[in-house]
Amino acid sequence: MTRVIDAKKQTENRFLNMYELAVTHRNGSRGAYFVASRSEEIEGITALNHELKPAGVMLFGIHGNKLVLERQFRYPIDDYVYELPAGLIEPGESLTESAKREAYQETGLTFEPLSSDAFSRPFYMSPGMTDEACATIYGHFSGEPTSIHEEEDEDIQVILADREECRRILAEEKVSITCAYQLMHFIGSEDPLAFLKEEKKNRR
């Protein structure tokens, strides 16, 4: 039976740590597997507590008839990549509180979330290498974008993209996989948030 037996913390960092997992394979042999986690404590990694808990939020938001994107520098690839606005949840924050704070901090825009229990539940980001899960919050943006609230280590350009620009980004630019799927959804939907209205109607 394939399972995790134990874990050992390998690093001491604030935002991301590496853990070595002691595992058994399906044929009974034993081995090691390395996983990155947002958890600072070993008890907080999913391999041991089996909890699906979001470490961050990602924002799918419409500004007028355009999708709000970010072109952000990412150190692991030493380049800029297109993403949806996103960030880590602070202790004690709800998902919507985190979404509003991150929206203002990264874009300067005001974000008004649309409630959706079904579609805001967390999903794993890349479970082959990390236990990080993220919740997507849908809603509307307003205001004028600005970068004055960015942190020192952030380099973000706010993009308000219509469908033609989204097509160009998909064809020509570096894009995160989660953003790429949402770009496709935006391009193919006359009303990209209509599915939330359907979900609310079905719950009545």
What are the sequence ranges of the domains in the chain?
3-49, 56-203
pTM summary value? 0.91
Question: For position 151, what pLDDT does the model report?
Answer: 78
Tell me the pLDDT tens digit for each residue of 64-84.
999 999 999 999 999 999 999
126 close to 132: Cβ distance less than 8 angstroms: yes
β-pairing, 56-63 with 133-142?
Answer: parallel
Residue 147 pLDDT greater than 90, yes or no = no
Looking at per-residue pLDDT, the higher value among 191 and 150 belongs to 191
Q: Which amino acid would we find at residue 34?
A: F
Mean pLDDT of 159-175: 98
- The reported pLDDT for the residue numbered 54 is 96
pLDDT at position 24 is 97
Residue 152 has pLDDT above 90, yes or no: no
What class is the 56-203 domain?
alpha beta
